[in-house]
Structure formats: C-alpha cells, structure tokens
C-alpha cells in the first residue's frame, strides 16, 4: 500500500516495469479515462486534491515513460546502481515503501518530532545524482516548501533537489528513492496527497491553482480543445524559477495562433538565452531530438505520441503554451510527412 505520490509511475499505471511501450501508452490512456474529470467511476470517490494528484501522476507518466530515453533514465533511477538507491530498489516493488525504509532506518526517526526530517524532501538525498525522471524539473520550481529554497539560478534539477536534502535531516536514507517522486510532485505544484504526514511544516505548498484541477489535467488528451487554454496544467509553471508567472507575456513576436516551427522555437530559445544543452539537461530530452525539432527534421523525430511529450517539455522550458506548441508542431509535421489534402498544414 503506497500513497499516490509515492507510487512509481508503473505502479500508478498498474503495468509491470518492463511493459512494452504500447502497453504503457494504452495504460496511460485508460488511466486518463478512469481518473479524468467526468469519469463516472471517480464520482464522489476522491477529493479534488487527490484526483488532481492522480491526474498529474498520469501526465508525469505520459511525459516520462513514452520517451524512450526519459524512460530509460527513469528506470535507471528506479533500479539503477549508486545514489544509495540500491537498498530500496527491490523493495520498491515488493514492499510498502515505509516498510522498506524502516528496515534500514534508525528507529528514532518516525515520531512526529522527526517532522522536519521525515519530509519527503529528505528523500532527495539519494537522488542528487544525474539520474532523474524526466519530469523532474519541478524541484527547481518548487512553489516553496521551506525546506527547498527556490533554485533561482536555474542550475538544473539535480542541484535543486540536493538542496532540500541538505536542509532536511538525513532521516531515513533508505527511503529516499521512493520518496523522490513525492518531492517531485510536491514541487510540481498542488499539495501532495499527504502533506502533513511527515511534517506539515516542511511541506506547505500553496493551494493548487484552480487551473490545475481535473479539467485542466485532461487537456493533454483533447486535441480538439479550445487552444485558448491558458496554460498546460500538466506543466504547472515552475513558480520559483520564473520571476514572472505570466508566460504568455514573454514570446512577444508570435501570435496566439502561430504555427510553431522549429525555427520559431529556436528563436524563442535564443531570445531567452538558453543554450540547447541546458534544455537537454533540464528536460532530459536528448540534444539530438531538440536539434531535430528546431531543424524540422521530421523524418528523424520520434513518433508523434512521444514527440508530443517532448514538445510539451520543451515548451515549458521556453515558457510557451505547451498545448499550442505541440499541437501546431504536430499538425505541421503530419502535413509535411503525409501529403493528404485533408490535413490543413498551416504552412502549406
């Protein structure tokens, strides 16, 4: 039994960790149906917070598991050597997390007194290494649990993640890997399932913006949704890092309905002065993909389903509306790669 925030993405989807891509994708789609807004099966079951957490985890899975490289990194993080993760890897799949943690943890930590240390952030210790899930940037964008001071220098996720770890006591290192996701989720915005458990003090994320609610969460599937969706909810603005929380304000030269090309993305990126390797580092998308996107090398890009996640992540880094970017880019790509008269490629 694990909290939603502590389940691995595979556990969230209820697929085995070695499930083929297609099965993962199917599981994600099914999960979206079950847990998305308007689902009869969810009616009155969970609180809005929980439902929204669940949906965020599903989107996390979408971004992470469908990109083969991000998934490989995530798998390595889950089960890979080093970073102190070894102790718990196995436990990840077989034991309730706490049990696993407790086995090694000093028994003095569990009491409420350990609040500060029992924080999910404590878990960060073990993952300060390079292996982090794709969606992990949020830590740098933590809405501000005291334990994790905002990482203003934009130095990348690893460092940000390491900070809370240092701040917190080295409570139960063995628990760490299991808890990372919590930290990530927490940092990503709305409060985690159980913010007070470890310590109300350490985890006090602001109320989730209404936008991050279930409706917004659903947005990613609905390609036919009004494009005017203010901000992709699955990529809540990394508040701490953005001095200006108004992302729309920044890419001034492109109209709302712009058809996004690789060239435009490159220009936005350069206008913001972000080197491509920084994006690669932060999003865990290979530089190779990023360059192919910017050069519109459609033939060399991954399949649309994966590309979509990549575009969303990229757009987030550029503080663009991920929905719009992904949609218009994918439209262009499909128009360019298949020559059907039905697809109105805006560029044709």
Partner 1 sequence: MVRMGDAPMLQLLPPAAAPMRRPATAARTRRIIAVGGGKGGIGKSLISANLGIELARRGRRVVLVDADLGGANLHTTLGLELPRRTLSDFIERRVSRMDEVLTPTGIENLSLVSGALDHVDAANPRYAQKMRLLRHVQQLDVDYAILDLGAGTHSNVLDFFLVSDHGVLVLVPEPTSVENAYRFLKAAFWRRLRNVAHVFGYDPLLRSLLTTAPFRSPVELVTTVMERDREAGANLIRQLASFRPRLIVNQARTPQDADIGQAIAAAWRKYFGLQMDYLGHIQYDDEMWRVQRARRPLLIERPDTAAARSFAGLVDALLALDAVQPRTVPPAPAPPPPGSDP
Per CB under 8 A, 94 contacts partner 1 = no
The least CB distance from residue 168 to partner 1, in Å, is 15
Per CB under 8 A, 45 contacts partner 1 = yes
| Binding segment (CB under 8 A) for partner 1, from list 128-136, 144-152, 158-166, 191-199 | 191-199
Cα gap 57→63, rounded to integer Å: 10
Per CB under 8 A, 186 contacts partner 1 = no
The least CB distance from residue 297 to partner 1, in Å, is 40
Per CB under 8 A, 267 contacts partner 1 = no
**Residue of 43, 108, 339, 341 interacting with partner 1 (CB under 8 A):** 43
Cα gap 22→19, rounded to integer Å: 8
Per CB under 8 A, 2 contacts partner 1 = yes
Nearest to 115 by CA among 49, 191, 202: 202
**Residue of 66, 98, 126, 280 interacting with partner 1 (CB under 8 A):** 98
Other beta carbons within 10 angstroms of residue 88's beta carbon come to: 26
Which CB, 35 or 329, lies closer to partner 1? 35
Which CB, 196 or 267, lies closer to partner 1? 196
| Binding segment (CB under 8 A) for partner 1, from list 2-10, 235-243, 255-263, 277-285 | 2-10
Can you tell me whether residue 302 is helix, strand or coil? coil
| Binding segment (CB under 8 A) for partner 1, from list 49-57, 213-221, 227-235, 288-296 | 49-57
CB neighbour list of residue 55: distance below 8 Å, 6 or more residues apart: 32, 35, 36, 214, 217, 218
Per CB under 8 A, contacts with partner 1 among 312-331 are none
Per CB under 8 A, 255 contacts partner 1 = no
Can you tell me whether residue 12 is helix, strand or coil? helix
Per CB under 8 A, 4 contacts partner 1 = yes
Residue 336 Cα distances to 30, 90, 300, 315, 344, angstroms: 30, 46, 13, 21, 10
Nearest to 205 by CA among 188, 222, 229, 227: 188
- Residue 82 is classified by DSSP as S
Please give the angle made by the CA atoms of 143, 119 and 241, to the nearest 5 degrees: 20
Cα gap 141→145, rounded to integer Å: 10
Per CB under 8 A, 42 contacts partner 1 = yes
Which residues are near partner 1 by CB under 8 A?
A: 1-4, 6, 14, 30-31, 33-35, 39-47, 49-50, 54, 96-99, 102, 110-111, 118, 193-194, 196-197
């Amino acid at each position: 039994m694990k909290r939603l925030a502590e389940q691995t993405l595979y556990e969230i989807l209820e697929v085995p960790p070695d499930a083929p891509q297609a099965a993962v994708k199917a599981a994600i789609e099914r999960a979206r149906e079950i847990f998305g807004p308007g689902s009869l099966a969810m009616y009155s079951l969970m609180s809005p917070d929980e439902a929204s957490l669940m949906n965020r985890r599903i989107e996390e899975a979408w971004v992470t598991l469908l990109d083969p490289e991000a998934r490989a990194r995530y798998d390595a993080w889950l089960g890979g050597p080093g970073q102190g993760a070894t102790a718990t890897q196995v436990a990840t799949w077989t034991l309730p997390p706490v049990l696993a943690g407790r086995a090694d943890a000093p028994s003095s930590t569990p009491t409420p007194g350990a609040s500060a240390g029992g924080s999910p952030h404590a878990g960060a210790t073990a993952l300060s290494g390079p292996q982090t899930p794709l969606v992990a940037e949020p830590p740098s964008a933590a809405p501000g649990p005291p334990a994790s001071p905002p990482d203003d220098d934009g130095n990348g996720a690893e460092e940000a993640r390491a900070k809370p770890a240092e701040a917190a006591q080295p409570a139960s290192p063995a628990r760490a890997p299991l808890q990372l996701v919590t930290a990530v989720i927490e940092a990503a915005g709305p409060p985690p399932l159980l913010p007070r458990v470890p310590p109300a003090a350490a985890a006090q994320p602001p109320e989730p913006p209404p936008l991050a609610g279930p409706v917004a969460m659903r947005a990613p599937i609905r390609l036919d949704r009004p494009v005017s969706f203010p901000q992709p909810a699955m990529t809540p603005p990394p508040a701490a890092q953005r001095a200006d929380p108004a992302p729309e304000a920044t890419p001034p030269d492109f109209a709302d309905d712009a058809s996004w090309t690789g060239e435009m993305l490159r220009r936005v990126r350069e206008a913001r002065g972000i080197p491509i390797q920084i994006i690669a580092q932060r999003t865990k998308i290979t530089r190779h993909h990023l360059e192919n996107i910017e050069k519109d090398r459609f033939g060399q890009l991954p399949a649309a389903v994966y590309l979509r996640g990549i575009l969303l992540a990229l757009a987030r880094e550029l503080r663009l509306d991920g929905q719009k970017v992904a949609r218009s880019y994918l439209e262009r790509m499909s128009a360019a790669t298949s020559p059907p008269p039905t697809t109105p490629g805006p560029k044709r």
